[in-house]
Chains A and B, each alone.
Chain A
Amino acid sequence: MTLLDVDGLVKRFGGLLAIDDLSLSVDDGELVGVMGPNGAGKSTFFNCVSGVIHPDGGTVRFAGDNVTGVDTATLARDGLVRTFQHTRQLDTMTVRENVRLAAAKQPGERTVSALLRTDKMQKTEDEVTQRADELIEMFELTRLADEYASSLSGGQRKLLELARVLMLDPDLLLLDEPFAGVNPTLTNEIAAHIRDLNDDGMTVVVIEHELETLTELVDRLVVLQQGSLLVEGDPETVLNDERVIDAYLGS
């Protein structure tokens, strides 16, 4: 079943055509990689799909529904979740708070329940804390749980971001350069986590420049150039495709 279907996407920034009639689809359970030289439009593509910016043309369908232009928060609640290229974490909150924030359906986030300090709120918060601690442990951040996110290293921030998005239990996870600025050991760890998540049924799309890890990780590879689809297919074929080699060398 097609989970994500992007058809004829167009996005302009002033005079610049960042996304040029891009069509791409991702099936349920796939692990897809997106690559391309700088300026190919990879992050813009994610931004259009995840509601951060409005496309100028084309449609985005998620699980059959037309979600073109729907805002980020609604998409996240519906199961379409993304991370950011330059990790954005909530520096003025602790690691645990960062993760707990993402919990959906916490009645304590509504005024009345908060004011009354209902039992349901307290109970949900206990469950949320438990789940958060599990995720924190999965990414081996337990000893940092009470530290402010500002004191984390680059690699630890990547892990925190993963823990946070997993709290949402997404159907489709869009990872924007998860290995950027991360040392090789940690890169392999993160890649392993991604593979495990995919094995458990999560559909994942990864943008990366770190081609070696990306090509080993994914089932299918998509190459973008100047805002449109250049080539797609299994990693080995794609990497040996002349057009891809040209695109990277010629740019």
Chain B
Amino acid sequence: MSLSDSLPEYDSDRALVFGTVAILLGLAIAVTPVTVTIPGDLYVFFEVGILFVVYGILVLGLDLQYGHTGLVNFGHVVFFAAGAYTMAMLSAVDSFEGIALGYPWPVGLVAAVVVAGLLGALVGATSLRLRGDFLAIATLATAEIFHTLFINFTDIFGGSTGIFGVPTPLGDLAGTRDATLVTTLLVLGGLTALTFAVVARLTEAPYGRVLRAIRADELVTRSVGKSTFRYKMQAFVYGAALAGLAGAIFAMYQGAISPDFFELQVTVTIWIGMLLGGASNHRAVLGGLGIIMGLRLFSRFVQGSAPVTTGEFASIRLILVGLVLILVIRYRPAGIWGDDRELEVDS
């Protein structure tokens, strides 16, 4: 009996197993007295890898909203930020600027998910009845408003400096910097896998069928007795809550946050990853995100040897990213791994 036979049949169950194993392994490494050393060249793999798994939670949430339910959310980063700032403000200790209440980190974590979910409910209740491109603009505008608020209200949000002193439980547990990176990658990666499991469970069930039906034709779905607004709200809130979770764990990894981490660019990256891989397919969107992050990784490697400045390199990378988005929409709207029939192009 091969390994794949002994694995559970559903994607969600496999992810559940994988995630649990990864988390346990990560924690184990943290507590063992065995030292871990990462060769200097490989640091960047871990750093980008950790960012990848955090963004992975974002893309899975966005895919639930757009890939499955058809909601065009172009402000996803605001839920990421809401989670991160809630986490930071509630549990940071001794931040230079902004609120830092010093509560234990589990409190911050739960609050982060709740606050992000509530924000999702607020945005959803007000905006989900808008036509697709208007919803995109409304969500985009919401994200920009909050971004401006974060930068300007220094006493509350820490302004451009942000909030310092966020607890770093994994780092504390692991001790050395190298061990922290390994542990963080494993544990956060495990969390991403668990997120995958949760989202996949929803979409594997008849619940997912209703979501896909809403995306295909909302009126028909209503005419067969489904309360489509309720489902749209749920998909939106779940996606937002997951983004909040990502924000909280991101804050706990960095130990500090600032508005720089929550710009429009994040939303654009997630969208491109989702569309490139193939929306509505959980594995595909992670794959697409992986390619985009891989590009980022590649550019970090090449940067040193290229005859251009860092700023110029960033611009070149962004030009490529923009072109990828344009090309995907034009030539392969279903994405690399997407199924054309599942993602019919509007005509």
Contact = CB atoms under 8 A, between A and B. Distances in A.
A121 B220 contact: no
A90 B213 contact: yes
B223 A114 contact: no
B224 A106 contact: no
Given A90-B212, A101-B213, 20 more contacts: A71-B222, A72-B223, A73-B223, A73-B227, A76-B224, A76-B225, A81-B224, A88-B217, A88-B220, A90-B213, A92-B215, A92-B344, A101-B210, A104-B225, A109-B226, A111-B202, A114-B207, A117-B204, A117-B205, A121-B206
Interface of A: 50, 52, 71-74, 76-77, 81-82, 84, 88-93, 97, 100-104, 106, 108-111, 113-115, 117, 121, 125, 128, 148, 150, 164-165, 167-168
Contacts of A103: 206
Contacts of A100: 206, 209
B11 interface: no
Contacts of B226: 73, 101, 109
Contact of A113 (B205, B209, B228): B205
A93 B212 contact: yes
19 contacts: A73-B228, A76-B225, A81-B224, A82-B223, A84-B219, A84-B223, A90-B213, A92-B212, A92-B342, A93-B212, A93-B213, A109-B210, A110-B207, A113-B205, A114-B206, A115-B198, A121-B206, A150-B344, A168-B224
Contact of B206 (A92, A108, A167): A108
Contact of B224 (A91, A125, A164): A164
A237 B219 CA distance: 37
Given A92-B344, A150-B344, A109 B206 contact: yes
A115 B224 contact: no
Nearest to B203: A114
Nearest to B209: A101
B220 A89 contact: yes
B151 interface: no
A150 B223 contact: no
A104 B228 CA distance: 14
B343 interface: yes
B342 A109 contact: no
A113 to B, nearest CB: 7
Nearest to A106: B206
B232 to A, nearest CB: 12
Contacts of B209: 93, 97, 100-101, 109
Chain B interface size range:
20 to 34
Contacts of B223: 50, 72-73, 76, 81-82, 84
Contacts of A92: 212, 215-216, 341-344
Contacts of B201: 114-115, 117
Given A114-B202, A148-B341, A102 B224 contact: yes
Given A90-B216, A93-B213, A72 B222 contact: yes
Contacts of A91: 216-217, 344
Contacts of B342: 92
B225 A88 contact: no
B243 to A, nearest CB: 18
A84 B223 CA distance: 9
A174 to B, nearest CB: 10
B45 to A, nearest CB: 33
A101 B209 CA distance: 7
A43 B70 CA distance: 28
Contacts of B269: none
B234 interface: yes
Q: Among the interface residues A72, A148, A168, which one has the most CB atoms of the partner chain B within 10 A?
A: A72
B142 interface: no
Nearest to A79: B225
Interface string B180-210: 0000000000000000001001101111111
- CB-based closest 4 A-B pairs: A114-B205, A76-B225, A108-B206, A90-B216
Contacts of B205: 108-109, 113-115, 117, 121
Contacts of B127: none
A101 B202 contact: no
Contacts of A71: 222
B221 interface: yes
Q: Among the interface residues B210, B223, B341, which one has the most CB atoms of the partner chain A within 10 A?
A: B223
Q: Among the interface residues B208, B226, B228, which one has the most CB atoms of the partner chain A within 10 A?
A: B226
